[in-house]
Amino acid sequence: FGPPAPDLELGPEGVAKAEALARFAEGILFEEAAEPAKALAAYLAVLDRDPGNTDLAVRVAYELSQSNDVTRAIRILKDAIAAGPRSPLPHLQLAWIYARQVGRLDQALRHISLAAEIAPTDGDVIETQVQILVEAGQPSRAQAALDRALRAKDATAEFLVRIAELQARLARPDPERPPNPEAIRRAASAIERAAAKSAGNIELLHRLGDLHTALERPADASLLYRKAIESGAALPEEARLLIQEKLARSLLGEGKTEEAAAALREIIRVDPTRSEVHELLGAILEEQGDLRAALLQFEQVVLLNPGLPAAHLRLADLLLRTGEPGKSAQALTEARARFPGLPQLTSALGVAYSQSKRHDEAIAAFEQAIHEAHVAGRTDLLDAGFYFQYGAACEQAGQHERAAELLTQSIELDPKQAAPALNYLGYMWADRGERLDEAETLIRKALVLDPDNGAYRDSLGWVLFRKARYPEALRELLRAAELVQPPDPVVLDHIGDAYEKNGNPGQAAAYWKKASELDPSNTALAEKARRGHTVLGDATPAPKSPEPTPRP
């Protein structure tokens, strides 16, 4: 081949660019071969020939600064600025190096100012400036920078959203601490301005809604999530459902429980496979007292996401509370097979066995839970609540001395929250006619902690009855009957017994009759009601106070 025609020959500048491209290709090959040192050398050769390649200059300067070659990093960035003065990127990288590695805040801010002159509505420029000022302990200057950015002409919606995000971050730098109200006001104002320019932009409205959520402003978040959903723009189903779930959570934060539940049901209608939505709806239904509906939701949670031990515990608890202790025990047995060695599951199984009247298995489960807690290093789980449940299981099994030991341990572990254990132990002794003075003391302590608890008031009445203080007993039992709904046959039975001892067989018969109607399988109650009816015939008066409290 002969030499190229004169008009095809490369000049010095063209030769430099060609060599730069060749070295750049070498650098890529070295990177792919996992030879970073050779790649860096090739890229440095590129910059020797083409210092205006700002993207590469910034990248190489970052690598050099990470290896503490700060002097060379600064030189490369300054060369890039000289060769390409209209790019803000080298200024931003210099700002970070001066701020974090050289300790020259003045130089860092000078380069930030130069970057802002080049790109006044570049979100990266403002974010860098704010972060450097915050790290330097100058939040007021960071706020001033955000205020200037909000006044920028021709600011795009994306830029305003970035500023709002920075303002929200400045308003609440630590989520664990309460935010400054003035900072929250500024953030809300920035979000409002950004939202006004983001009308119809689903992504930006979604981001702004998230900012209100982070600032704990659920009503404002709900408004923006609604606007995002109702914008009419095409939106992938997954994205729409995600925003709708966030809307439901915001509505819940507003206290709009029914609207939140409706939003969640709509999500489930479209996509019934979202376990977190079933979980949230189940929690709402549980809070509303619709335990059977909540149970259905948590059955779906466990089916869709069986790897969550907490969901298995929640399901088992709902089965207990809906009167299915056997199913609860079965669910927990299956969960323990999936998650062996979890003491939380084993202790819950103990409760389920106890309520199923499988007493030996219940006690064995509680002992196993203690062993598992020690093996797992989770002795914190062996708390007052654990020993209360274990003590109650022993009482149900007829092991009263062991029950007393465990309930006493529960009381000692958390005296301020010991009312249930105080009452349980006191009532156990009262019902057995044992240690009545101690029983009365325990129950009165429970009432000091929770004076309006009808169950505890009934316990006090019953221990007074056992001590033959019948007028006082009747007074306390009638007070118990006024405190809570629904009527409870045990309390009604106690009132009947107290009326009988106080010489009022008519009222005694009336309460026994009502108690028997509420608990028709209780043969002892049925016999009392029959005896009262036989004595009085059809002249049995109505109970005066048919509103007793449930037993603990």
Scan for tokens 């809300």, then name that residue: 188
- Helix axis angle, 105-118 relative to 89-96, nearest 10°? 160
Name the amino acid, one letter, at 276: E
CA distances from 111 to 68, 95, 461 (A): 20, 6, 80
CA distances from 418 to 189, 317, 348, 442, 448 (A): 48, 22, 20, 10, 11
47: pLDDT confidence band, cut at 50, 70 and 90? Answer: confident
- 450-468 in b/e form (b: 16+ CB < 10 A) is beebbbbbbbbbbbbbbbe
410 versus 117: the higher-pLDDT residue is 410
**32-36, 119-123, 232-236, 528-532: least confident range:** 232-236
Looking at residue 457, its pLDDT comes to: 97
Is the pLDDT score of 395 beyond 90? yes
Name the amino acid, one letter, at 188: A
Looking at residue 416, its pLDDT comes to: 97
533 versus 254: the higher-pLDDT residue is 254
Distance CA 329, CA 316 (A): 7
Looking at residue 79, its pLDDT comes to: 93
3-state secondary structure 47-98: HHHCCCCHHHHHHHHHHHHHCCCHHHHHHHHHHHHHHCCCCCHHHHHHHHHH
Contact 443, 430 (CB under 8 A): yes
Structure tokens at 31: 């990177």
Q: What is the three-class DSSP state of 513?
A: helix
Summarize pLDDT for 477-514 with one digit per residue, the tens: 999 999 978 999 999 999 999 999 999 999 999 999 99
Summarize pLDDT for 351-392 with one digit per residue, the tens: 999 999 999 999 999 999 999 999 999 999 999 999 999 999
- 199-235 in b/e form (b: 16+ CB < 10 A) is eebbebbbbbbbbbbbbebbebbbbbbbbbbeeeeeb
Among candidate residues 56, 87, 22, the one with its CA nearest the CA of residue 64: 56
Summarize pLDDT for 164-189 with one digit per residue, the tens: 988 888 888 777 777 778 888 888 98
Is the pLDDT score of 339 beyond 60? yes
- Helix axis angle, 436-449 relative to 419-432, nearest 10°? 150
Contact 512, 529 (CB under 8 A): yes
Percent of the chain surpassing pLDDT 70: 93
Cα of first residue to Cα of last residue in the chain, in angstroms, is: 103
14: pLDDT confidence band, cut at 50, 70 and 90? Answer: low
Looking at residue 542, its pLDDT comes to: 45
Looking at residue 12, its pLDDT comes to: 65
Contact 27, 43 (CB under 8 A): yes
Would you say the C-alpha torsion 206, 212, 217, 223 has a positive or negative sign? negative
CA angle in degrees (0–180, nearest 5) for 413-414-416: 155
Average pLDDT on 293-319 reads: 97
Looking at residue 69, its pLDDT comes to: 92
- Out of 461-465, 521-525, 543-547, the most confident range is 461-465
Distance CA 182, CA 77 (A): 39
Structure tokens at 187: 């953030």
Contact 171, 200 (CB under 8 A): no
Is the pLDDT score of 547 beyond 50? no
Residue ranges covered by each domain of the chain: 471-552
550: pLDDT confidence band, cut at 50, 70 and 90? Answer: very low
Assess whether the previous peptide bond of 486 is cis (omega < 30° from 0): yes
Looking at residue 469, its pLDDT comes to: 98
Distance CA 126, CA 115 (A): 9
Looking at residue 540, its pLDDT comes to: 45
182 versus 234: the higher-pLDDT residue is 182
Question: Is it true that domain 471-552 has CATH number 1.25.40?
Answer: yes
Looking at residue 529, its pLDDT comes to: 86
Average pLDDT on 6-21 reads: 65
Summarize pLDDT for 411-450 with one digit per residue, the tens: 999 999 999 999 999 999 999 999 999 999 999 999 999 9
Q: Which pTM does this prediction carry?
A: 0.77
Distance CA 50, CA 15 (A): 11
Average pLDDT on 115-128 reads: 88
Average pLDDT on 83-110 reads: 91
Looking at residue 135, its pLDDT comes to: 86
Looking at residue 5, its pLDDT comes to: 57
Contact 79, 51 (CB under 8 A): yes
Dihedrals phi, psi of 151, to nearest 5 degrees:
-90, 0
CA dihedral of residues 347, 348, 352, 353 (deg, nearest 10)? -20
Among candidate residues 384, 375, 465, the one with its CA nearest the CA of residue 421: 384
535: pLDDT confidence band, cut at 50, 70 and 90? Answer: low
Distance of alpha carbon 345 from its chain centroid, rounded?
20
Scan for tokens 């950015």, then name that residue: 149
Looking at residue 546, its pLDDT comes to: 37
Distance CA 533, CA 508 (A): 10
Summarize pLDDT for 470-487 with one digit per residue, the tens: 999 999 999 999 997 899
Distance CA 448, CA 463 (A): 16
Is the pLDDT score of 155 beyond 80? yes
